[in-house]
């Protein structure tokens, strides 16, 4: 475990390594990387940034120009996977891949060393279907990973090829029904499944639902010795009976994923549900450690700064305070400098002196029709305070009001009054700019309907997060149900 001085030293060493390697780039010359001798110099010279600050540089990279943001060659341009905004192209260098692996490798080592039963079984690692043809930029740079395994190094890839329960080439299937069928058959045929690793728990729920709904057509494709047991288990919804050696499911459990992770736990009461760390397309923030009882900051991956939600002060990793919430800022070998991820974390404690973090939500997810400035974190807390028992909920704009899309068997109190605790929302209601919120009762399978719509828009199924607040209207035309 690291000491406090180790955390500070590791972070400063990472920062100055990045600056030294990229001081002769167009960006490094503009902000005088050569003249930066301290963290204070870095903050004076280089401003906080968002994606839009890099669009001009990325246009040059797309055209094939070199030495723009990084001295290292751009190996590919990865598409961001956020479900609330247009896709962004993130430069991916060999240095950035190595930074991801500095977080992935200790997680994998801890997982297979300290969780009993994993080594002797098969694993399912999220494989998501291709959403379109492979593309290259006009400068010849590949756009998008072929599969999630490309985050790993050769050693990990070779290991996973031996223990995968579902073949990687399933990701190349573009027909969704065929993708689900092959995935379901491979998993049902696997007697010794010990680990499931997905990003969004709704993705796993969709696969399980597909198994139940298509049991009769799937059973003939499964080895005879497994059919009777699987038929009985699917008829009773006993998924744990299908995989008695399943030890651990790794998935998102925080923020908007919480109710879906609970459904997973209800379906697998004897299985450990391990929360994922925080990983974005742009960088690797934290990874789970069993002994830490949470996700630790990946201090050797990137240089991190944190903006306090309490007073907007900026601090380093070794200055974080337990119980406080912060926005994450990263500087990486991929050419993002003081880049605001807009991910909000809460410090839950320390593993030695390394902070342990919990994802809270997106700071930048704000809906603003008339100046009401509804923030996703506020929406989440408000709905939770009303103790609404719901299988699914989503707040979205619709013309001159907001709509709560909700699937629940119980009575639902209109949250409009609670939302008026937000000064700007209340002011817009008083002015008549916003009309009273309406409730749309969902009758179908809203999680699947939401994900299907996002896939139609070109997003990767396994990466899609279902938000509590959507910035887009028109969901009443996509979801099955009706207004109350």
281 lies in a domain?
yes
355 lies in a domain?
no
Q: Is 220 exposed, middle or buried (0-12, 13-18, 19+ CB in 10 A)?
A: exposed
Q: Is the pLDDT of residue 1 over 50?
A: yes
Looking at the structure, do residues 295 and 213 belong to the same domain, yes or no?
Answer: yes
DSSP conformational letter for 284: B
150 lies in a domain?
yes
Looking at the structure, do residues 284 and 376 belong to the same domain, yes or no?
Answer: no
Looking at the structure, do residues 284 and 404 belong to the same domain, yes or no?
Answer: no
So what's the pLDDT on residue 459? 74
319 lies in a domain?
no
Q: Is 114 exposed, middle or buried (0-12, 13-18, 19+ CB in 10 A)?
A: exposed
Boundaries of domain holding 462: 366-483
Number of domains in the chain: 2
336 lies in a domain?
no
Q: Is the pLDDT of residue 101 over 80?
A: yes
At residue 50, the 3 state secondary structure works out as: coil
147 lies in a domain?
yes
So what's the pLDDT on residue 142? 84
So what's the pLDDT on residue 156? 58
The winner for highest mean pLDDT among 125-129, 157-161, 196-200 is 196-200
- The pLDDT-based confidence of 86 (bands split at 50, 70, 90) is very low
78 lies in a domain?
yes
Q: What is the CATH number of the domain that holds 56?
A: 3.40.50
Looking at the structure, do residues 133 and 273 belong to the same domain, yes or no?
Answer: yes
Q: Is the pLDDT of residue 84 over 80?
A: no
Q: What are phi and psi of 68, to 5 degrees?
A: -90, -65
Looking at the structure, do residues 136 and 230 belong to the same domain, yes or no?
Answer: yes
Q: What is the pLDDT of residues 130-152, one digit of tens each?
A: 555 557 888 888 887 655 555 56
pTM of the model: 0.79
At residue 161, the 3 state secondary structure works out as: helix
Looking at the structure, do residues 260 and 370 belong to the same domain, yes or no?
Answer: no
Q: Is the pLDDT of residue 2 over 50?
A: yes
Looking at the structure, do residues 378 and 288 belong to the same domain, yes or no?
Answer: no
Is there a contact between 364 and 376 (Cβ–Cβ < 8 Å)? Answer: no
- The pLDDT-based confidence of 83 (bands split at 50, 70, 90) is very low
Looking at the structure, do residues 294 and 402 belong to the same domain, yes or no?
Answer: no
Span 262-290, average pLDDT = 93
Q: Which of 282, 299, 316 is the last residue of a domain?
A: 299
């Amino acid at each position: 475990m690291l000491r406090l001085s180790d955390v500070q030293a590791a972070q400063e060493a990472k920062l100055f390594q990045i600056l030294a390697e990229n001081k002769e780039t167009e960006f490094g010359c503009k902000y005088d990387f050569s003249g930066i001798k301290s963290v204070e110099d870095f903050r004076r010279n280089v401003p906080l940034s968002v994606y839009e600050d890099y669009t001009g540089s990325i246009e040059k990279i797309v055209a094939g120009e070199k030495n723009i943001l990084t001295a290292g060659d751009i190996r590919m341009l990865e598409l961001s996977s956020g479900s609330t905004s247009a896709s962004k192209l993130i430069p991916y260098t060999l240095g950035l891949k190595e930074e991801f692996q500095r977080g992935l490798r200790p997680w994998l080592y801890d997982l297979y060393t300290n969780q009993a039963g994993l080594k002797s079984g098969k694993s399912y690692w999220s494989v998501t279907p291709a959403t379109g043809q492979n593309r290259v930029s006009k400068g010849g740079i590949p756009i998008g990973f072929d599969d999630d395994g490309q985050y790993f190094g050769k050693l990990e890839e070779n290991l996973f090829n031996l223990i995968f329960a579902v073949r990687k080439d399933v990701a190349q299937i573009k027909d969704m029904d065929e993708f689900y069928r092959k995935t379901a058959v491979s998993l049902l045929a696997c007697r010794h499944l010990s680990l499931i690793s997905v990003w969004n728990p709704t993705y796993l729920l969709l696969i399980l639902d597909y198994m139940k709904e298509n049991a009769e057509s799937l059973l003939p494709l499964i080895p005879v010795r497994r059919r009777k047991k699987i038929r009985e288990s699917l008829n009773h919804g006993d998924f744990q009976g299908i995989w008695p050696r399943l030890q651990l499911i790794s998935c998102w459990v925080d923020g908007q994923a919480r109710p879906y992770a609970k459904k997973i736990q209800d379906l697998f009461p004897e299985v450990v549900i391990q929360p994922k760390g925080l990983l974005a397309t742009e960088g690797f923030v934290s990874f789970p450690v069993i002994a830490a009882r949470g996700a630790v900051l990946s201090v050797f991956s990137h240089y991190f700064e944190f903006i306090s939600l309490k007073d907007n002060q900026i601090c380093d990793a070794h200055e974080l305070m337990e119980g406080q919430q912060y926005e994450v800022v990263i500087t990486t070998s991929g050419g993002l400098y003081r880049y605001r991820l807009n991910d909000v974390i809460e410090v839950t404690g320390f593993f030695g002196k390394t902070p342990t973090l919990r994802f809270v939500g997106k700071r930048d997810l704000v809906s603003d029709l008339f100046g009401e400035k509804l923030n996703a974190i506020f929406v989440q807390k408000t709905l939770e305070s009303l103790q609404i028992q719901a299988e699914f909920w989503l707040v979205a704009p619709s013309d001159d009001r907001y709509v709560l899309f909700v699937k629940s068997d119980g009575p639902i109190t209109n949250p409009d009054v609670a939302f008026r605790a937000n000064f700007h929302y209340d002011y817009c209601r008083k002015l008549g700019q916003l009309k009273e919120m309406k409730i749309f009762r969902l009758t179908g399978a809203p999680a699947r309907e939401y994900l299907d719509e996002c896939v139609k828009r070109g997003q990767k199924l396994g990466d899609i997060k279902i938000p509590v607040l959507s910035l887009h209207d028109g969901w009443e035309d996509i979801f099955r149900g009706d207004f109350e």
